[in-house]
Amino acid sequence: MEELPNAPSLPQILEARRILRRALLPTPLRTFPRLNRRIRGEIWLKLEAWQPTGSFKIRGALARVAHLTPAERARGVVTASAGNHGLAVAFVARMGGGIPTTVFVPETAAQNKIRALESLEVPLKRVGRSYEEAHAAALAFAASTGACYIHAYEDPWVVAGQGTIALEILEELPQADAVLVPVGGGGLISGIALVYQALAPQTRIIGVQTEASPALAASLRDGRLYADYPAGPTLADGLAGGVGELAYQLARQGAIHEVVVVREETVLRAIGLLAVEAHLIGEGSGAVGLAALLEDPERWVGKRVVLILSGGNLDGEILKRAVEVFLAEGSV
């Protein structure tokens, strides 16, 4: 097996869990009878949308900030984000005694996430039209100021923090046929895949992307890494852009078993279904796993499936539209 770039070891992921337990409770793992009847399977949702910053990203931020040196803390940190990672880093930096933090976001970042970042009163730089452009600007800022750059998905401690989700799932539900994981840069699915590869390799780890930004699916199809991907308009803004080397290599080596691509209109239906039938708010990035079930329902009949509801930072207008569409279809 090829050496994996930026891959944490299982002991690192276990150490990340020890760090997180000092600050976070495990998120709920819930099943909903109405969803189960609709899919005709046993569907479990890992509710990362219930984290303090509204997404799973706080896990990786906590694990990484815990390993800053005193000198790095003094120089401050900088990151680039579509929104949720920046929120997590800023929140954790404040928890850590007010570490100076600068966040770069693309000009296209969702306005509700911009408002949340502004409420944390961190220097916010809006640069470029894509995550990749914001990332380049943040790296230049780090080089010129000495601030420590915290990568959203290509840092071993960030990936270790995200991998703690899998440890929590396995403690409650050791037997599952599949775990469906949203994929943007790939830090979330990388951490989860590494844990399942070590502890429960019989469970299929399936990545989910949208047609607007299928960077990992396209990378596997074409046999080349799309670290920068020109995303189209999407409800899943947290998944837009390229994919990281670690997720790509894990997929090539079989730890990520499959990547499915869903339609934007199905993501909208999934958001509405979550709101109406499970009383859950899930942003587009978090709803893609349910969208995958809706697009291929026969595949999941009788299966025990875990969906990672990765975030709940949803714009109110999108929620309104999703519920209206769902109700108009007579889906209740």
- How far is it, in rounded angstroms, from Cα 35 to Cα 46? 14
Q: Return d(Cα 64, Cα 193) in angstroms, integer.
A: 19
pLDDT tens digit string along 52-75?
Answer: 999 999 999 999 999 999 999 999
Does residue 20 contact residue 121 with C-beta atoms inside 8 Å? no
Check residue 47 and report its DSSP letter.
E
In the CATH scheme, what is the code of domain 10-55+155-328? Answer: 3.40.50.1100
Indicate the average pLDDT of the chain. Answer: 96
Which tokens belong to 221?
């199809």
Q: Indicate the pLDDT class of residue 332, thresholds 50, 70 and 90.
A: very low
- φ/ψ region of 257 (left if φ > 0, alpha if ψ in -120 to 50, else beta) reads alpha
CA 328, 316, 295, 201 torsion: positive or negative? Answer: negative
Q: CATH topology of 10-55+155-328 equal to that of 58-149?
A: yes
* pLDDT at res. 330: 67
pLDDT value for 54: 97
Name the residue ranges covered by the structural domains of the chain.
10-55+155-328, 58-149
pLDDT at 150 over 90: yes
pLDDT at 212 over 60: yes
Q: What is the pLDDT of residue 98?
A: 87
pTM (two decimals): 0.96
Buried b (16+ CB within 10 A) or exposed e, 213-247: bbbbbbbbeeeebbbbbebeebbbbbbbbbbbbbb
Percent of the chain whose pLDDT exceeds 70: 98
- What's the pLDDT at 2? 66
At the topology level, CATH places domain 58-149 in Rossmann fold (3.40.50)
Calculate helix-pair angle for 111-119, 84-95, nearest 10 degrees: 10
Q: What is the pLDDT of residue 42?
A: 97
